Amino acid sequence: MAERSPDLAPSLWDRVKNGFSYLSRLRRKPLGFAGLIIIVFWILISILAPYITPYGPTDFSTDKFVGPSLQHPFGTDRWGRDVFTRVVVGSRTAFTLALSATLLGLAGGTALGLSAAYFGGWVEEVLGRTMDILMSFPALLIAMFVLGVLGPGTLNVILVIGLAHTPRIGRVARSATLQVKNQEFVEAARVRGESDLYIMGAEILPNILDTLGVEAAIRFAYSIFLSASLGFLGLGVQPPTADWGLMISESRSYLQVAPWLAIFPALAIASMVLGANFLAEGLEEVTGGEQR
Amino acid sequence: MTGPILQVEDLEVIYNTERTNVRALNSVSLEVSPGEVRGVVGESGCGKSTLAFAIMKYLDQNGEISGGRILFNGEDLRGKTRSEMEDIWGKHLGMIYQDPTASLNPSLPVGEQIAEVATAHEMATKQEAIEEAIDLLNRVHIRDPEEIIDRYPHELSGGMRQRVGIATGLMGKPELLIMDEPTTNLDVTTEARILDIVEELKDDLNSAFLYITHDLGVIARVGDAVEVMYAGEVVERSGIEELFEEPFHPYTKLLLRSLPDPEEEKGTLQDIPGSMVDLTDLPNGCKFNTRCPFRKEKCFKEVPPLEEKVGTHKARCYFAPIEGAEETVGEEKRGKTKSVWKEPPEMEKEGPILEVDDLKKYFGGGGSWFPGTEGSPVRAVDGVDLTLEKGETVGVVGESGCGKTTLARTIIGLTEATEGRIDFAGQDITTYVSRRSGETLKRIQIVFQDPRSTLNPKRTVGQAIARPLIMHGDFSRQEIPKKTADLLEEVGLDSQLAERFPDQLSGGQKQRVAAARAFATNPALVLHDEPTSSLDVSVQATILNLLRDLQEGSGTSYLFISHDLSVVRHISDYIAVMYLGHMVEFGSTKEIFTPPYHPYTEALLSAIPVPDPKLQRKRIRLSGSVPSAVDPPSGCVFHTRCPRKIGKICENEAPPERRTGGHEILCHIPEEELIDVEPVLKEE
């Protein structure tokens, strides 16, 4: 037997293997697999962006409002910038915003939901009611309010979307924890004299990761949507950054003459949101199927 | 009517799973005649429930009848469509399920649900049907049925619900009633009453019954004939008395021997080596050949037929009936385990390991912001005294809700005592586990009930066992893998299993790992909370033997909690009987099983299903159900159900302690009268 120190949770390699086994099982779920392909497609696009774009995202030219053609597959905007390039580069903005916001929401929500469920009593009451209050306002409204105060900008958008996700992820984390916390292996840990932090982190957390993963995919889709909305409202990323929401916002006045300005970024948003949702669906089937 | 009502011929059922097809039933043939209770017994995975659902044509989506015939009243049910089956269900073919909570509609009064069977088949008007429902409820001994029919399922106790389930099954006067583990979720005293009802119905109605159970004791009570199943096949068929007198098939033989005998004291149980074969990977030849101690070369080459051996007594074995030789089985293989711990834990002081003094644990109650509206607490444990000496085992028995699990949880510190004191090795430990010293934590361990949740699914077996070693043991990092392997071997597992995750283990293996985890810190006291109640009987035997061996090797004391008196008798030196938070009787194992008895103990003993159809015993049945622990009866808590209640004094005064030597009984009945009863269990 390999000499592996037995006190640690499964090694990183075990985790990776485990992750791949989920993905390979996704192949039998058509919807989830389609979602996976869409997301992988966008990941490749954003990594390869500098190599596949013929122009720079903020390169001006005199070819204004040119329709889709071989030189400009998605046409150009009123500054003569290449829309294809801006859509491709915009995927980087989208990933940066959505991934950071999702991770932030995941960290905050898991910490709050897990501890609320684990400690119960007044801790749960206070945290639970706070989350309820936060959730009783539409996320967009809170975002607009906070950005109105803090001012727009990439970092603030991430913070705001992460904040909007926190109570929702918190609720999922709480209900997942409630299902695990009274299981006998948790009581065994308490009887052994483990600290609360250890029990939450090492005994409970690994068992709710599946559920959190599904929720993260849903929140990711929602982040894309929310960041695009904020960009559209002018509260998000500022021009001239290539951002899908911003691009649609700028296209508003020219919809009649240059519809491609809105169509391509809109398609990009739709495909990424759908892809993430499909992936969430597939992950839920795959992980839920294992638990049963 | 003559001839069988149900003839199953060469039935085959296949489940299609994602990876492969599982053959759950393989050429099963059987007959059931009117006026007969035909038992089907076997352990989990033997296909007995699949058989029931296949006959009902109610298999899961991925299940398929792939061969054979199901002749019911001469007609083959296999060709019937769903709508044709709807005419048959309830009216001709009824089924009673294991879980009455799941089989009753929570939003309809029970009377309506029973009546629905008749009205759906247009056999009666609603009025007539309700009247008949009342009749049937009377018949299954439900008091005040006129009132009960208007209640909803959640307003009834488990035993009442199961009786309603039986009444529903009987409503259409079906020619055949299939009962799938109808008493498995019930307490023994309730089970005894349900079994009485089945016996009465058999005599009165001339219906045919197919009674499916894992419990040989139950089948000995109600069955006329029995089919023993293993791995999707019938391996033995015989009349009930012949089976228990002389089982022919090696599997049946071993299964009967693995049961803890309620008439026998502490001792080693016979176990069945190996585990149930994997249905996706069946051996060639006889399917039992992987575990059979009598196997010969032929068993690996040819599949034995189910053939008549003596009269109509059939067995699927070339060499049945097998004479003698079985005493050696398992014994030499298991051997004696030696403790990894060189010496037993040294005690700080002489004297008892555990002393519990007037322990009370109340849940809830109080807490209201408005004076006068404080709720009454649930008195889960209400004044229990207990002493446990070094190396001894005290068994705690009682039905659900008696407080036995709360007692264990309070001792281990998962909940805090409301009142009273717990001393461990002379030290007061009456507090939460988080406030106890590391030394105390190390010395008291617990083995839980549910093998499915006792291990963290995301950690390997090795990690589960190593963790307490790291926390409490004095080992260097290098020593830990070795120590883990030793512990695994001590509990009879291959040390290679350390790399596995819990979902790759069987239920019995998981309980062994749980035992290894508990013994990792060399404890002086281990609490066992129903450690075998979700295991099959053959696995239960191996676990009980293991616990005995571990105790002999280490001198550890046990507090063993179980609802099963036979199991407790097997492992305990002393037994405590609990009822509604009180310990009503305490004594040595022998004293508990012989007079004098507390009336409650007497009823419990009378209710145990004993795998011996010839056993004569007193029939003592408790009426009603356990009263609420929020508002327990005054005086003696048992007076509302006591068959030997002597009068007002039982209602008004707490019972005195009748004590002879170490044997204590809480009862108003004078000692001479308590002694002057026949023993409950005695051979004819």
**H or E stretch covering A32:** helix A30-52
Strand-pairing partners, residue B560, are B395, B528
Q: Do B467 and A187 touch (CB under 8 A)?
A: no
Look at residue A44 in the predicted model and tell me its pLDDT.
Answer: 93
A6 and chain B in contact, CB less than 8 A: yes
Asked if A94 and A189 count as a contact pair (C-beta separation under 8 A), the reply is: no
Residue of B nearest to A8 (CA): B463
| Among candidates B444, B459, B481 on the partner chain, residue whose Cβ is nearest the Cβ of A3 | B481
Work out the average pLDDT over B284-290: 88
Residue of A nearest to B477 (CA): A5
Q: Do B413 and A191 touch (CB under 8 A)?
A: yes
Q: Do B412 and A206 touch (CB under 8 A)?
A: no
φ, ψ at B342 (rounded to 5°): -60, -50
A122 and chain B in contact, CB less than 8 A: no
Output the average pLDDT for chain A: 86
Distance (Å) from the alpha carbon of A195 to chain B's nearest alpha carbon: 8
Q: For residue B54, which of B73, B81, B77 has the smallest C-alpha distance? A: B77
B192 vs B207: CA distance, rounded Å:
21
List of chain A residues whose C-beta atoms are within 8 Å of the C-beta of residue B499? 1
Count Cα atoms within 13 angstroms, Cβ side, for B664: 18
Number of A–B residue contacts, CB under 8 Å: 79
| Among candidates A185, A193, A194 on the partner chain, residue whose Cβ is nearest the Cβ of B455 | A185
**Peptide bond preceding A240: is omega within 30 degrees of 0, i.e. cis?**
yes
| Among candidates B448, B468, B499 on the partner chain, residue whose Cβ is nearest the Cβ of A192 | B468
A121 and chain B in contact, CB less than 8 A: no
**H or E stretch covering B190:** helix B188-205
pLDDT at residue B325 above 80? no
Look at residue B515 in the predicted model and tell me its pLDDT.
Answer: 93
What's the token pair of residue B50? Answer: 């699949």
Q: Where are the alpha helices (DSSP H) in A136-204?
A: 139-150, 154-181, 184-192, 196-198
List of chain B residues whose C-beta atoms are within 8 Å of the C-beta of residue A1? 481, 496, 498-499
Work out the average pLDDT over B45-51: 89
Look at residue A168 in the predicted model and tell me its pLDDT.
Answer: 92
List of chain B residues whose C-beta atoms are within 8 Å of the C-beta of residue A7? 463, 466-467, 470, 480
A184 and chain B in contact, CB less than 8 A: yes
Asked if B600 and B399 count as a contact pair (C-beta separation under 8 A), the reply is: no
A1 and chain B in contact, CB less than 8 A: yes
A64 and chain B in contact, CB less than 8 A: no
| Among candidates A3, A8, A203 on the partner chain, residue whose Cβ is nearest the Cβ of B456 | A203
Residue to substitute from B458, B488, B511, B513, interface A, most A β-carbons within 10 A = B458
| Among candidates A184, A194, A203 on the partner chain, residue whose Cβ is nearest the Cβ of B448 | A184
B418 vs B404: CA distance, rounded Å:
16
Residue of B nearest to A184 (CA): B454
Q: Do B454 and A28 touch (CB under 8 A)?
A: no
Q: Do B467 and A206 touch (CB under 8 A)?
A: no
Distance (Å) from the alpha carbon of A102 to chain B's nearest alpha carbon: 24
List of chain B residues whose C-beta atoms are within 8 Å of the C-beta of residue A207? 456-458
Span B120-153, pLDDT tens digits: 888 888 888 999 899 888 888 888 888 888 999 8
- ipTM score assigned to the predicted complex: 0.82
Span A89-124, pLDDT tens digits: 999 989 999 999 999 999 999 999 999 999 988 888
Give the number of other Cβ atoms within 10 Å of residue B651's Cβ: 13
What's the token pair of residue A147? Answer: 């950005």
Judged by DSSP in three states, B203 sits in helix
A 203-222: CB under 8 A from B: 203, 206-207
Output the average pLDDT for chain B: 86
Residue of A nearest to B451 (CA): A184
Q: Could you tell me which residues come within 8 angstroms of residue B171 by beta carbon, excluding any fewer than 6 positions away?
A: B90, B114, B115, B117, B118, B129, B132, B133, B136
List of chain A residues whose C-beta atoms are within 8 Å of the C-beta of residue B18? 28
Q: Do A7 and B455 touch (CB under 8 A)?
A: no
Query: What pLDDT band is residue B18 in, cutting at 50, 70 and 90?
Result: confident
Look at residue B560 in the predicted model and tell me its pLDDT.
Answer: 95
Lowest pLDDT segment from B327-331, B336-340, B601-605, B618-622: B327-331
Span B468-508, pLDDT tens digits: 998 887 788 888 999 999 999 888 888 888 888 998 888 88
| Among candidates B445, B480, B517 on the partner chain, residue whose Cβ is nearest the Cβ of A6 | B480
| Among candidates B446, B456, B466 on the partner chain, residue whose Cβ is nearest the Cβ of A6 | B466
Span B454-465, pLDDT tens digits: 999 989 999 999
Q: DSSP characters for B210-278?
A: EEEES-HHHHHHH-SEEEEEETTEEEEEEEHHHHHH---SHHHHHHHHTSPPTTS-S-PPP--SS-PPP
Residue of A nearest to B408 (CA): A191
Residue of A nearest to B478 (CA): A5
Q: DSSP characters for B524-541?
A: SEEEEESTTTTS-HHHHH
Q: Do B454 and A188 touch (CB under 8 A)?
A: yes
A191 and chain B in contact, CB less than 8 A: yes
A70 and chain B in contact, CB less than 8 A: no
Pairing of strands B93-96, B176-180: parallel
φ, ψ at B597 (rounded to 5°): -115, 150
B454 vs B443: CA distance, rounded Å:
19
Look at residue B265 in the predicted model and tell me its pLDDT.
Answer: 63
Look at residue B271 in the predicted model and tell me its pLDDT.
Answer: 77
List of chain A residues whose C-beta atoms are within 8 Å of the C-beta of residue B465? 6
- Residues A199-208 as b or e (16 or more Cβ within 10 Å = b): bbebbbbbbb
Span B412-436, pLDDT tens digits: 999 989 999 999 988 899 988 888 8
Residue of B nearest to A181 (CA): B453
pLDDT in tens, chain A (292 residues): 333 444 444 555 666 676 677 777 777 788 889 999 999 999 999 999 888 888 888 888 788 888 888 888 888 888 888 889 899 999 998 999 999 999 999 999 999 999 999 998 888 899 989 888 888 888 888 888 888 898 888 899 999 999 999 999 999 999 999 999 989 999 999 999 899 999 999 999 999 998 999 999 999 999 999 999 998 988 888 888 888 988 998 888 888 888 888 899 999 999 999 999 999 988 888 886 444 3
Give the number of other Cβ atoms within 10 Å of residue B82's Cβ: 8
| Among candidates B433, B455, B499 on the partner chain, residue whose Cβ is nearest the Cβ of A190 | B433
pLDDT at residue B310 above 90? no
Look at residue B323 in the predicted model and tell me its pLDDT.
Answer: 66
Span B93-107, pLDDT tens digits: 989 888 877 888 989
